[in-house]
Amino acid sequence: QVQLVESGGGLVQPGGSLRLSCATSGLTFSIYAMGWYRQAPGSQRELVASIYRDDSTHYADFVQGRFTISRDNAKKSVYLQMNSLKPEDTAVYFCNGLGATLPWGQGTQVTVSS
């Protein structure tokens, strides 16, 4: 049974940093391209960052230069380092395979506010 468990969210002031983690189980993690997604209240879920099997990465324009995605195949985990956070980054953050091919986890809430 595939499971995705996100963690690391919280309340942070504008300009602050957070590191999100996503632990996976029940899948051959190393063969998956993975992504971090987010969903703000009243908005659709959107792709934030992606990392491929060869560790190449891609970022949405609105996080380029501020967020860094990484993976650890031995730990079957993917991470999102978020720096210079803005209030508009407030959302629930989820990990999934690219194309959202896996069952969604519960996500982790990130709130950026002073």
Determine the Cα–Cα distance for residues 70 and 49; give it in Å rounded to an integer.
Answer: 10
User: Tell me, what DSSP letter sits at residue 84?
Assistant: S
Token pair of 97 as six digits:
């395979």
Look up tokens 């987010």; give the residue: 38
Average pLDDT, integer, range 75-102: 96
The pLDDT of residue 90 is 98
Q: How does pLDDT run across 9-36, given as a tens digit for each residue?
A: 999 999 999 999 999 999 999 999 999 9
Q: How confident is the model at residue 72 (pLDDT cuts 50, 70, 90)?
A: very high
Q: Helix, strand or coil for residue 82?
A: strand
pLDDT at 77 over 90: yes
Determine the Cα–Cα distance for residues 92 and 110; give it in Å rounded to an integer.
Answer: 6
The pLDDT of residue 101 is 87
Q: Helix, strand or coil for residue 88?
A: helix
pLDDT at 50 over 90: yes
The amino acid occupying position 57 is T
Average pLDDT, integer, range 47-70: 97
